[in-house]
Structure 1
């Protein structure tokens, strides 16, 4: 019996969601087609805009954001990619320094961390520093690659979302309503108003 009630409630919810769902509308060459009604206002839907934005971002980071006319995002992308690049280059040069010193010391030669015959850094410290710097270098590279891919995805998604109707009539306005009858033990309700 409970199972039948659950199925009945799900069917009613499915029917209600289809009844109140937004109808599809497509802009074709300046003419907006909504169902069987043609409306002359509206922009042109460009199906290639997301792929162009992704291509431009892949060729030169930040260019997809500029293509989407979100000019403020380009310096953010450049800064986000410059930070892991800087750390990669710094960690890589330090890794090479410690690696060279480790190889020289293993062969019994003088390295940059030996001053007047005194070893400033021990052999174990050189080995530990190499491992840490290599891990940091690899992590910086991974972070840079992830940020590079994310900026491509962001440009593509933004180009796709720019083509949606964002009129104020398509909004969701949640509001809290206090129950004035229950003063001693207040209860709070939630209403969601939507218009389309």
Structure 2
């Protein structure tokens, strides 16, 4: 190997050791070219994840990761117990309606399996039992199953809506925190003169005046 080729190789190796961001470099030291591949280095943009995001975007992201975290970022700590209390209530109704739905579904399955020896949990119930006239008990059992399944599904939808409102509230609150609400902003009711159309006269009136920052 010639001296010039060795020098070119050493220069490329030194650049690779320093973490050069060049993906591939062609060094022409002689009529022959040497292709030196280098690994892709993590860019500055990747390292600055969330750093350049606006406060509303950060608040929404935090609440999406963990409900209430965006409110903590906005320093609205009193909202966090409300968020988790709402989640607990909705979670309880999901659990309760699903438990009752599963009970009715299992009882209906046992009653309609064609085996007289299988007995369901509602066999002696005054509203769902087998002693009612013309299988009304079985029909009531079916209606109970459908009722609790519907409300279980509605509660699940409500849980997703509450999750979305948690994100939206954090985002909107972060926006509102940037508004200027000092004493230089005011809305005043003042007397004024309004020109009358097609005449040269004026009529007294009251106007609302919004004073911006001086």
TM-score between both structures, scaled by the size of structure 2: 0.59
Matches within 5 A, 1:27-176: 48-107=54-113, 108=115, 109-115=118-124, 119=130, 122-173=137-188
Partner of 2:3: none
Larger Rg: 2
Q: Find the aligned partners of 2:100 and 2:145 in 1 and give their Cα distance.
A: 8
Q: Find the aligned partners of 1:63 and 1:120 in 2 and give their Cα distance.
A: 55
Gap runs ≥5 in structure 1: 1-45, 176-188
How far residue 172 of structure 1 moved from its aligned partner, in angstroms, is 2.4
How far residue 174 of structure 1 moved from its aligned partner, in angstroms, is 5.4
Q: Find the aligned partners of 2:58 and 2:79 in 1 and give their Cα distance.
A: 17
Secondary structure of 1:114's aligned partner = coil
Q: Find the aligned partners of 1:152 and 1:120 in 2 and give their Cα distance.
A: 52
> Are 1:192 and 2:213 matched, yes or no?
no
Q: Find the aligned partners of 2:68 and 2:149 in 1 and give their Cα distance.
A: 29
Q: Find the aligned partners of 2:105 and 2:188 in 1 and give their Cα distance.
A: 61
> How big is each residue's C-alpha offset from its partner over 1:125-167, in whole Å with a ceiling of 9 and x where there is no partner?
1100011111101110111101100110110111122112111
What stretches of structure 1 move > 6 A for 4+ residues in a row? Answer: none
Work out the number of aligned pairs and report it.
Answer: 138
Q: Find the aligned partners of 2:162 and 2:107 in 1 and give their Cα distance.
A: 33
Gap runs ≥5 in structure 2: 1-51, 191-204
Q: Indicate conservation of the 8 Å contact 1:174/1:191, yes or no.
A: yes
Q: Indicate conservation of the 8 Å contact 1:113/1:120, yes or no.
A: no
TM-score between both structures, scaled by the size of structure 1: 0.64
How far residue 55 of structure 1 moved from its aligned partner, in angstroms, is 1.3
Q: Find the aligned partners of 1:120 and 1:190 in 2 and give their Cα distance.
A: 78
Q: Find the aligned partners of 2:189 and 2:111 in 1 and give their Cα distance.
A: 69
Question: Relative to 1, partners in 2 of residues 1:125 and 1:174: Cα closer, same or farther, differing over 3 Å?
Answer: farther
Question: Relative to 1, partners in 2 of residues 1:159 and 1:131: Cα closer, same or farther, differing over 3 Å?
Answer: same
CA RMSD across the alignment: 2.4
